[in-house]
Amino acid sequence: MKRTWVLAAGFSASGWFAANAGAENAARPLGEPVLEQPTLRCFGAYWVVEGDDNRNAVVHADYRKAGEPAWKRALPFFRVERDAHKGGEHGSRVVVPAGAWLFAGSVLDVDPATAWELRLRLEDPDGGKAERILQARTIAEPVFAPDPALTFHVMPGDGGGTGSAASPFRGLDAAQKAARPGACFLLAPGVYAGAFEVRASGEPGRPVVWRGDGTGEAVLDGAAAGGKRVKRVVMASGLHDVWFERLTIRNGDYGLAANGSSRFVVRRCRIHGCDYGLVSQINTDGAVRGHFIADNVIEGPSTWPRSKGIENARGIQVTGEGHVVCRNRVRGFADAIDTFPSPVCAAIDIHHNDLETLTDDGIELDYSERNTRCFRNRLTNVFQGISLQPVFGGPVYVFRNVLANVAAEPFKLHNSPSGGLIFHNTSVKRGMPAQLSTPERVRNFVFRNNLFVGTGGAYAFECQPPMEGCDFDYDGFAGREPFRMFLKWGGVRYATLAEVRFKAPVYRHAVQADAGSLFAIPVAMPADEAAPWGPPDLRLRAGSPAIDAGAPWPGINDGFAGSAPDLGALELGSAPQPVGPRPER
């Protein structure tokens, strides 16, 4: 059967994007829509709208490559709960007058280095109407070909040298005296001992580059006498346009600290022996933006299973806007990748990362305001999966991630979050397939087309918090053993899927399956989450109940193979998602 586009409540005339038709308050734009900094594969915007007290206006979104005639539909922009964007300790830089609405949204998973047009159409049955077209360009992966006249050679040592191939600078401090925009320092193999404080910034298009020369391992080592280590192996705070490539950074409390810095590239580095791998946390003036963190291997001190509570160990922490964190391998921390509170925490992409052995949260999107996007990551052996505790208004997008051996909740929605879209994810774990374990309310979340797989338990899904304005449907649940009951929601228990569909306020189109026959390659379900897993192949088996069981969403699952999208991260017939560092060409 051909299924038409099924809208979440948030995308129809009865939810977050529009609600309560029939009232008489026309919507009017309050200023122009604002394009946020595009990333490699996404771009987003927001628009403040006044009026519309009856919540029936919609901001439709369409996009196309510049110069093409036809528009493609994206999800309508998300209606942010009033004042939710100001929930963080730093408030928000976006001004939304009392009584007005903030609409925000993204175009997702598109081609890099491409010019795009985004058409926004404000429509209100009470008479409000406006249309705007924004021009955007997704970024290319950073490339820099240094000027031979500004290329300097470096070797370990304590001073001297001219920077030529015949007479390299001896040590990083000696080299740094030549640092200026466009300078590229090629580090010869060896150990560069002690803390290194970078002092010189580059310029857009003319970075200062610190790069291994490719002939062996250039090691920045913070080990000190008596078994001690430095606090920060590399200190590069308050700078901009600085690159680190093909370096090993080891033996410090922090590997690389880039607080208050912008437009850093950290690529093909190895960081280990540090409690914190790479941090860019401080953003006092709200100007931190544009990091590109890719193809790194970052290894921390944590081991599986969790035995110490929440450890002070983080792989990557960023705040600001316009960052790309992709194709990294991070293992052995409490959290692999975190967003961090600041006056701006928006338009950040975390994708195609390979994350393992994480004793708190695999990925934290905590403190995000809007248009933070987490997609196509693989998480294996994690205590909690992906955290949104809290997010401030949204939308925060979480899609096509694969989670295996999650000890607790696949998605952590604690501390009263508001504004998340969780769709097309696959989670496999021991016990109940899905649970939300917090007494605090959850607002304005949409779940669609996810696949939750467990071994059995009291429920397929136990949802403890009070839910406000949330829409959960078209998810699939599978177990090795029968569930004692199917759903607990709002304190009410529903014994069977049939009862859920008939009586519950959610999951009218949920699917139930047997975990043993769900995947093309049978998965040995975890009998004990303390035993570490290798990443399983979670592609679906043809004919399983997850096939063609999802809801179409424009701009999300266009081009699905059958009569409707499949549940989970991987459409039938698709290859496993590439994650982690790419081979160097």
User: Does the pLDDT value for residue 3 go beyond 60?
Assistant: no
Domain that residue 131 falls in: 9-137
Q: How many residues does the chain have?
A: 585
This prediction has a pTM of: 0.94
Whether residue 120 lies inside any domain: the answer is yes
Q: Please tell me the predicted confidence (pLDDT) of residue 310.
A: 85
DSSP string, 380-437: EEEEEEEE-SS-EEEEEEEES-EEEEESS-SEE--S--EEEEEES-EEE-SS-SEEE-
Q: Which residue has the higher pLDDT, 17 or 283?
A: 283
Cα(267)–Cα(519) distance, integer angstroms: 35
- φ, ψ for residue 66, nearest 5 deg: -55, 130
Give pLDDT tens digits for 452-467: 999 988 999 999 999 9
Q: Please tell me the predicted confidence (pLDDT) of residue 89.
A: 62
User: Does the pLDDT value for residue 23 go beyond 80?
Assistant: no
Q: Please tell me the predicted confidence (pLDDT) of residue 18.
A: 47
Alpha helices in 466-537 (DSSP H): 497-503
Cα(395)–Cα(498) distance, integer angstroms: 32
pLDDT band at 2 (very low <50, low <70, confident <90, very high): very low
Whether residue 16 lies inside any domain: the answer is yes
Which amino acid would we find at residue 418?
Answer: S
Percent of the chain with pLDDT over 90: 82
For 75, 119, 136, 260, 556, the CA distances from 106, given in Å and listed in that order, are 8, 12, 12, 26, 11
User: Does the pLDDT value for residue 524 go beyond 50?
Assistant: yes
Whether residue 197 lies inside any domain: the answer is no
User: Does the pLDDT value for residue 525 go beyond 90?
Assistant: no
Return the closest-CA partner of residue 304 out of 353, 355, 253.
Answer: 355
CATH number for 41 = 2.60.40.10
Residue 309, judged by CB atoms within 10 A of its CB (0-12, 13-18, 19+), counts as: exposed
3-state secondary structure of 130: strand
Whether residue 463 lies inside any domain: the answer is no
Instruction: Answer whether 539's CB lies under 8 Å from 547's CB.
Output: no
Give pLDDT tens digits for 204-221: 999 999 999 999 999 999
12-25 average pLDDT score: 46
Q: Please tell me the predicted confidence (pLDDT) of residue 127.
A: 86
Percent of the chain with pLDDT over 70: 95
Whether residue 124 lies inside any domain: the answer is yes
Place of tokens 């959850």: 442
Number of domains in the chain: 1
Residue 285: CB atoms within 10 Å: 10
Q: Please tell me the predicted confidence (pLDDT) of residue 90.
A: 63
